[in-house]
Amino acid sequence: MRIKKFICFILILAVCVAALPCAAHETSSNKDEVLKLLNELEIMRGDPNGDLRLGDTVTRAEFTKAAVASSQFRHSAASSLSVSPFYDAPYTHWAAPYIRAGVTNDLISGYPDASFRPDNPVTYEEGVTIMLRVLGYTDTDFGAAWPDGQLGMADSLDMTDNIENTAVGSQMKRGDVATLIYNTLRCKQKNAQTELISIFDVSFTENATLISTSREDSAIPGDEVFTDMGSFKIRDDFDYSHIGMKGDIALKNNRTVIGFFPDSGAEPDERYVVYSMLGSDVVAYRDGAFEIVDIPDAAAAYDGTQRSTYGAVKSTLEMGDIINVHKSNGNIDYILFDKGKMLGPYTVTSESSHISDAGITESTKVTRGGKAATLAELQTGDILYYVPELDMAFVYTNKVTGVYEKASPNADAPTEVTVSGVTYKLEGAEAFKKLSSVGGAEYGDTVTLLIGKSNDVADVLTNGGADAPSMITGYVYAAGTKTYTTGDLKNYSGYYIGIAAPGGDTYEYTCDRDCSDYKNSVVNVTLSEGKASVRRADNPGGAGGVFRYGDGKISLGGAKVSADVKILDVGTTDKNETPLYCAVYPSRLNNVNISSGKIFGFTKNGAGEIDSLILNDVTGDSYTYGLATSVQNVNAGMSLSGSYSYLVNGVSYSAATSNTIFSIGRDMGIRLNSAQNPTSISNLTELDGNIEILSPSALSCGGRTYEIPPDVQVYEKTYSMSDEYTMIPISDIASAGSHTLYVYYDRLPENGGKIRVILAVRK
């Protein structure tokens, strides 16, 4: 009877306590319990002797394995690899499968020199960033300031609680790594309502009190524990010393206790509910009473992922807003606001009066396309959002130009539209008005969708309106006729043209005539009332020379080039061939001599800098490269035919021809216009001379050093007559004298080419 009375008392007490506010999730300073759970989930284990070695530093390779093991991609780490993720992490490296899985799923990345440095100690900021990516966050979520944005977000998510060393640049110890991973498991995944740990079929019952087991009450089954949150199954490893404690229960399949994390007794968060503003003071409700919030203006504050200060945002607080103050040792670590009104979307126009109407000034912090910017850098057609409490403007620049095909559920009240075969949701009222039946846009019109923060349509430029681009120069990758289905299921057909612009953006327009003859040509497209008029572009002349990139300056010959120049390299202008084009970064062209005949067109900005370039096959990067493994040509009188096998990035392909043959050789590097069903294949040029691998990124031949690009294809044969080829990392042939090397390039580096294929035959 006394036990039952005790249980009733505990239940009453627990109910009272449970009514208090609590954090989104609780962290734990009990490393023994943390490591026990991570061992259970096969994320972190001790050494063969069972030693957890909490004071040991953790390498990047070790951390990558633990991060992948704690993610939704934990089953994607292949047990064996034939391709190395990085030259210093060959496929034979014990962590290669995890590194490959981490890179493939955007959890980790290497260094600019194409290395991974697996044995380097992982730093605090690296570990935090990787675990944020495990939660689904990307670089666009963090802001421009590294690593403040990442660390601020991690703090706001309670990912860094109880980590002993949080200094930027510090090397993480196993104990802190375990704490970081555990805290991350307790966080909700981005855009989800479930904690990360749910991927293991594990959930937490928070703020639960362990009341009794069969040891305290014989009425309770021997394999259960009774709590104020219900009864749960326990296993042989259950720690009975936790009975009577309050904390978080880790449950497998919502039933079986696999861990318990007692409250540490740490200083509780201060939680205020804003009631009103009194001058510069905030009057708030806390613990049943009104008080003036006493927080220094300089205290760090976060609203979502954006860092500010309490003083900068407190004047915007309104009734009902929540202020959560996190403290340790009596000092404020940071503040979280449950706030939230973002104004917008606004479309930037030539007037853009809404910018001042919304309260945006020259002092407003602006990010455009994920980078810090100024109001002067905004462009017509940008989509802007404003957060008053942070005085920050977020500007998005994505646009989609294509043919308006369908509105759903109907044109009178569209919530989605289909443009050039892709369906988009509508976000802004302006988009709704312009794409609805009263807005003037009709099926078959060329429209430009202005894409907002959620990749939805915030606004639309229709029928070549005042803010729509009047002309675009680009490469025709498609042309002809298409048949579209309207909302009332009626079909219509019309002429169209697809354009690739400098930088690689693609556009689709309706035309008033068949433009098939322009396929694979560089053209000027002029819009008038939603229809495209097309003519071949003339080479403007006046540009050419050596392209220089470095020291913050870019030039082409004697002309200055804009830092944000957009470049397109066209592979073929033969309308009967497969279209070939690719976007090119300025760094790719460094020290390349580009003659005027290799330039289809360029434009200049108001400062007289070249801001767009269309090149005539300068880099060769739009082509496909591989190694010919079998060549059979038949030339019998009037009969020509061929049969070919080849490797492209380690994948085997075959092709056959009739009435023509390809003049290529077995075991030669080759260039193709397509891996599948190519219509042109040609030999690459072989380097002539003694070849020596200097490093994974350089080789020498004939007294000259050549760069080995990261995308080089290296194939190994065990002997010269073998029919078996294995794609291997470049690091596997770095040892002197182990292979006879055959190196193939498309053209010399100063002419835009590079080494494409290496055949290594074992000696």
What element of type H or E holds 126?
helix 124-134
Q: Is residue 727 in a domain?
A: yes
Q: Is residue 670 in a domain?
A: yes
pLDDT per 10-residue tile (average), the chain, 763 residues:
34 30 47 84 77 85 93 81 80 89 89 90 94 91 82 91 91 93 92 90 85 76 85 91 80 92 62 71 72 82 64 74 68 64 79 72 80 82 76 80 82 86 86 84 81 87 57 90 66 85 85 90 82 83 88 89 92 93 94 94 89 95 97 87 96 94 96 95 95 91 94 93 92 80 96 96 90
Cis peptide leading into residue 409 (ω within 30°): yes
Contact partners, residue 518, CB within 8 Å, separation at least 6: 476, 479, 497, 534, 536, 575
Give the largest CA-CA distance in the chain: 108
Compute the radius of gyration of the chain from its Cα atoms: 32
Q: How far apart are CA 40 and CA 19, in angstroms?
A: 32
pLDDT of residue 264: 63
Q: Is residue 707 in a domain?
A: yes
Shared domain check, 403 and 392: no
Q: 3-state DSSP call for residue 591?
A: coil
Shared domain check, 471 and 407: yes
Shared domain check, 404 and 508: yes
Contact status, residue 155 vs residue 183, Cβ threshold 8 Å: no
Q: Is residue 651 in a domain?
A: yes
End-of-domain residue from the set 536, 570, 605: 536
Dihedral sign, CA of 70, 75, 80, 83? Answer: negative
To which residue do tokens 């939704």 refer? 72
Q: Is residue 258 in a domain?
A: yes
Number of domains in the chain: 7
Global pTM value: 0.51
- Domain of residue 734: give its range: 686-762
Q: What is the DSSP string of 248-307?
A: EEEEETTTEEEEEEE---PPPPEEEEEEEEETTEEEEEETTEEEE----TTSEEEETTEE
Shared domain check, 477 and 413: yes
Q: Supply 300's token pair.
A: 């760090």
Q: Is residue 668 in a domain?
A: yes
Shared domain check, 530 and 429: yes
Could you tell me the CATH number of the domain that includes residue 282? Answer: 2.40.50
Q: 3-state DSSP call for residue 179?
A: helix
Shared domain check, 569 and 484: no
Amino acid at 576: N
End-of-domain residue from the set 507, 536, 565: 536
DSSP annotation of 199 reads G
Nearest to 368 by CA among 611, 603, 143: 143
Shared domain check, 329 and 445: no
Query: Would strands 365-368 and 392-396 be described as parallel, antiparallel, or unpaired?
Result: parallel
Shared domain check, 452 and 350: no
pLDDT of residue 317: 80
Neighbouring CB atoms inside 10 A of 613's CB total 26
Shared domain check, 527 and 403: yes
Q: Supply 463's token pair.
A: 């029928």
CB burial of residue 349 (10 Å; 0-12, 13-18, 19+)? middle
**Bridge partner list, 459:** 450
Q: Is residue 31 in a domain?
A: no
Q: How far apart are CA 637 and CA 146, in angstroms?
A: 69
Q: Is residue 105 in a domain?
A: no
pLDDT of residue 81: 66
Amino acid at 354: H
Percentages of the chain per state (helix, strand, coil), in multiples of 5? 20, 40, 45
End-of-domain residue from the set 492, 514, 536: 536
Shared domain check, 297 and 386: no
Shared domain check, 238 and 320: no
Contact status, residue 396 vs residue 382, Cβ threshold 8 Å: yes
Shared domain check, 405 and 464: yes
